[in-house]
Structure 1
Amino acid sequence: MTVIAREVVELARALRAGASVDRITTQLPRRFAKIVRMPWTTAAVQDTRLPTTDGVRIPGARAMDWYTDTLWELATRDPAIASTLWSSYQMITSSRTLFAPRIAARVTARRLAGPPVPPERVDTPQR
């Protein structure tokens, strides 16, 4: 579910519970912050990889780069990882699914096996 859809669900919950306007305006921003934290952090960390991006990289950015690079490498060979990655990037599932034990174990095992393996070259037919 997209971030905005999740925020709408939270708002609907508060309204159904009969929350006052004061309560909604003080509690919902905190709930919304929890919803956007992971997608926003992921996007911001990826942006800071670009040399044209201003600002300081957050602590742990290199580790996230390492993890993301390995996920992408594995996604070229592992349909389960590719499906999880795309579902997360399309916001169908939470980005936390990228850190599920079965995924994290594959990422760690891949990195312990040695340097990244370039994807196989695929020749496209010429017309």
Structure 2
Amino acid sequence: MSLKSAALTVRENAHAPYSRFKVGAAIRGASGVVYAGCNVENIAYPEGTCAEAGAIAAMVAAGETRLSEVYVVADSPAPVPPCGGCRQKLAEFGDPDVVVTMANLDGVETAMTIGQLLPGAFGAAHMDKG
């Protein structure tokens, strides 16, 4: 399954009764397996979960910890970028050169790397006191 079709399919399952802004995300693990996630809102904002976080959680639950590609889609005028928290999550599991394709339902796509989305990312090296 392609990342695009996985993201479009899972987007339909999003639980977004408050914002009505459904988002789907699909990531390819280092093994090649595709994991998908959708946003899940909660009446107690900001307790919801972003689509990217859901896809990462599915990957980790399956035993993988590295991602190699990302696709995010929403019904928006322009391709929707991951929020700041999700950019940090993507950086945790993907290298700076991993491509993140952002898309809308009209088929417009924009691609950037994790490093472009989150320059100067906080990482494990910042925790190492040597």
Q: Is TM > 0.5 for Structure 1 vs Structure 2?
A: no
Question: Which protein, 1 or 2, shows the higher relative CO under an 8 Å CA cutoff with sep ≥ 6?
Answer: 1
Query: Could you state the TM-score of these two structures normalised by the residue count of structure 1?
Result: 0.25
The structure with the largest helix share of the pair is: 1
Query: Which of structures 1 and 2 has the bigger CA Rg?
Result: 1
Higher strand share: 2
Q: TM-score, normalised by structure 2?
A: 0.25
